[in-house]
């Protein structure tokens, strides 16, 4: 135990005589602690423990020996109060090894006893099997010198052999049942191979130096941070279109995980939106200079380089990728009729959700799903389609993020009219901003996009420019018994080189949208289709570029 500096003792107002008396009473006090509150961040957790102890007069070390090994030593803090004057000194943190439940001697002793019992039962079964064989040989006349038995002797032997076999079979049946029970009990103990050998765990031990001028009752609070815990947002989006007015429910959930090495038992839990390990300050921005770029000299290849994929192959690959993303599905999810939910508390820079009651979550026990809240915002229904990638109309729902808490990036489970339609993702949406979700395909709106013509003109004798005209027709038809609104998007190439010219042809249908969401090269038409109505849209453009060069489409950066 490290004594307090003399200056600290004088400041505490302790007389030299009291110091001598307290030195005689110095001791190490083992203090049980209880979990009081846990604040879980997306990538860490802060744990608060409460300690109530009686402290005699003098200098002592209060020992807490059940802290997790994953604790951040720099985050350990101690606060407290006492019925009399109490001074808290330094806090030392050390480690010690413990033997887990699997390595206890009683487990190994029980397995050894079961093995001996199994061997004894097997010996008795073997002995009974030998008696059975002897009885069978005697009944067959093998014990009579090979002579056949007369009828009277045969009847007596039959009776004796039958009774003997019956007794032996009953004995063997009971022995086998006992053997099966012993082997089942052994299998239960040996199911986890790690239980056969001692497992050593590591825990942290905190030694808190305290000083009391007189006996007192103290309440200490121990706070520390662990990184092996966190939570992630998950959402349920439920859309009902069966009534006249569409209904929408937005349920916030949290999936809590913890592998800290300590069990959270009956403790209050708060979820915070603060990212602890994201960083605390903006980066230092450096300037940049502009220089001439020199094209690298190509090196000779020993094998011919493969040709670049054709534009049609690139589009087909993109269509397959987009279709795979949109058609991800999962098992149906049951949701209870009523669920307790968290209480929302917002500050100037963060949001917290206080879970109701207490929570018990063992370390390494997987993820715990809790409900944070539910909103029923007003929504706008529409259809969206990008037939150049996928000729399918998808139901689109947009709504304003309600409340004071932002919508954090996370997974969304989508339910439409009681049917699970798949999973999606939502980005970060600030309160009051618009959020948008896709709710699956609408098979009663058909879309076809076909190339109408493609004309390429080579340069003449004196010409130096090549030209190519492209035209596509997109047909949209509403097979519903009610009108629908659909946004159809298409694209035309974008040139970032003055020598490549893109022109829209007169046959092109004038778009309603240009570069939506700052997506260059994307155009869109908003159509209001009556039942059974069909509309056609034309995309037509011309490309001109130097004849000595080749052109290929490349995706623009996001």
Annotate 236-283 with three-state secondary structure: EEEEECCCCCCEEEEEEEEEEEECCCCCEEEEEEEEECCCCCCCCCCC
Give residues with Cβ within 8 angstroms of 107, minimum separation 6: 101, 189, 195
For the chain, the straight-line distance linking the first and the last C-alpha, in angstroms and rounded, comes to: 62
Token pair of 423 as six digits: 């999973």
- Amino acid 157: pLDDT: 65
- Quick one: pLDDT at residue 476? 96
Joined together, the tokens standing for residue 237 give 């989006």
Question: Which residue, among 468, 456, 539, 547, has the nearest Cα to 504 in the 3D structure?
Answer: 539
Neighbours of 372 (CB within 10 A): 21
Strand, coil or helix: 109: helix
Q: Specify the pLDDT at position 180.
A: 84
- What is the reported pLDDT for 365? 73
What is the Cβ-side half-sphere exposure of residue 193, based on CA atoms within 13 angstroms? 0
At residue 225, the pLDDT reads 92
Q: Are strands 44-55 and 200-212 parallel, antiparallel or unpaired?
A: unpaired
Please state, in angstroms and rounded to a whole number, the distance separating the CA atoms of residues 467 and 454.
11
Joined together, the tokens standing for residue 540 give 């037509």
DSSP helix, strand, coil percent of the chain (3-state; round to 5): 20, 45, 35
Domains of the chain in sequence order: 6-100+200-226 (no CATH), 104-196 (1.10.287), 229-275+311-435 (no CATH), 444-546 (no CATH)
pLDDT digits (tens, 9 = 90+) for 106-133: 666 777 788 788 888 887 888 777 777 7
**Is the separation of the CB atoms in 391 and 407 below 8 Å?**
no
Question: In this predicted structure, what is the pLDDT of residue 458?
Answer: 80
What contacts 415, CB < 8 A, 6 or more positions away?
236, 237, 238, 239, 333, 421
Contact assessment for residue 234 and residue 4, using Cβ atoms and an 8 Å cutoff: no
pLDDT digits (tens, 9 = 90+) for 490-531: 999 998 888 889 999 999 999 999 999 889 999 999 999 999
Which residues in the chain come in under a pLDDT of 70? 1-26, 98-108, 136, 138-159, 161, 190-201, 278-279, 288-295, 298-349, 460-463
Pairwise CA distance, residues 318 & 301, whole Å: 30
Structure tokens at 6: 């003399």
Instruction: Give the CA angle between residues 510, 517, 537 to the nearest 5°.
Output: 25
Cα gap 481→445, rounded to integer Å: 11
Q: Which helix (H) or strand (E) holds 313?
A: helix 311-326
pLDDT score of 333: 43
Residues 138, 133: Cα–Cα separation, whole Å: 9
Tell how strand 247-258 and strand 229-240 pair up. antiparallel
- pLDDT score for 78: 92
């Amino acid at each position: 135990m490290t004594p307090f500096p003399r200056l600290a003792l004088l400041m505490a107002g302790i007389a030299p005589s009291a110091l001598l008396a307290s030195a005689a009473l110095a001791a190490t006090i083992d203090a049980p602690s209880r979990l009081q509150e846990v604040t879980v961040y997306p990538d860490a957790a802060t744990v608060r423990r409460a300690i109530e102890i009686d402290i005699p007069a003098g200098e002592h070390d209060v020992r807490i020996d059940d802290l997790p090994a994953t604790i951040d030593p720099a985050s350990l803090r101690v606060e407290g109060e006492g019925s009399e004057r109490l001074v808290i000194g330094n806090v030392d943190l050390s480690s010690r090894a413990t033997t887990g439940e699997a390595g206890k001697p009683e487990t190994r002793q029980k397995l050894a006893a079961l093995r001996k019992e199994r061997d004894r039962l097997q010996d008795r079964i073997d002995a009974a099997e030998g008696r059975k064989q002897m009885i069978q040989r005697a009944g067959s006349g093998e014990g009579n010198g090979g002579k056949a038995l007369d009828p009277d002797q045969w009847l007596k032997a039959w009776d004796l052999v039958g009774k003997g076999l019956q007794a032996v079979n009953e004995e063997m049946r009971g022995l086998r049942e006992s053997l099966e029970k012993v082997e089942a009990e052994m299998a239960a103990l040996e199911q986890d191979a790690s239980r056969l050998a001692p497992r050593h765990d590591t825990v942290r031990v905190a030694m808190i130096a305290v000083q009391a001028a007189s006996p007192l009752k103290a309440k200490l609070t121990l706070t520390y941070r662990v990184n092996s815990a966190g939570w992630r947002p998950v959402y349920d989006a439920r859309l009902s279109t069966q009534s006249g007015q569409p209904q929408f429910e937005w349920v916030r959930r949290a999936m809590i995980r913890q592998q800290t090495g300590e069990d959270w038992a009956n403790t209050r839990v708060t979820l915070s939106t603060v990212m602890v390990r994201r960083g605390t300050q903006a980066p230092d921005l450096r300037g940049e200079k502009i220089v001439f770029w020199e094209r690298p000299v190509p090196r000779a290849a020993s094998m011919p380089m493969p040709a670049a994929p054709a534009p049609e192959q690139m589009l087909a690959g993109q269509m397959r990728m987009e279709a795979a993303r949109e058609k991800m599905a999962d098992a149906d999810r049951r949701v209870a009729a009523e669920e307790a939910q968290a209480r929302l508390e917002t500050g100037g820079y963060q949001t917290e959700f206080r879970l109701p009651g207490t929570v018990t979550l063992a370390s390494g026990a997987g993820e715990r799903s809790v409900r944070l809240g539910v909103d029923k915002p007003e929504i706008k229904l529409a259809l969206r389609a990008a037939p150049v990638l996928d000729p399918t109309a998808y139901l689109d729902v947009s709504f304003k993020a309600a409340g004071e808490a932002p919508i954090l990036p996370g997974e969304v489970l989508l339910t439409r009219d009681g049917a699970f339609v798949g999973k999606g993702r939502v980005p970060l949406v600030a309160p009051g901003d618009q959020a948008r979700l896709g709710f699956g395909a609408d098979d009663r709106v058909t879309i076809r996009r076909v190339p109408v013509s493609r004309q390429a003109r080579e340069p003449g004798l004196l010409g130096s420019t090549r030209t190519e005209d492209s035209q596509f027709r997109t047909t949209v038809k509403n097979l519903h018994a009610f009108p629908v609104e659909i946004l159809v998007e298409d694209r035309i190439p974008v040139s970032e080189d003055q020598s490549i010219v893109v022109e829209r042809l007169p046959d092109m249908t004038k778009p309603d949208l240009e570069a939506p969401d700052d997506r260059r090269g994307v155009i869109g038409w908003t159509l209001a289709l009556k039942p059974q109505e069909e509309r056609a849209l034309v995309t037509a453009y011309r490309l001109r570029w130097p004849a000595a060069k080749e052109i290929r489409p490349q995706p623009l950066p996001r």
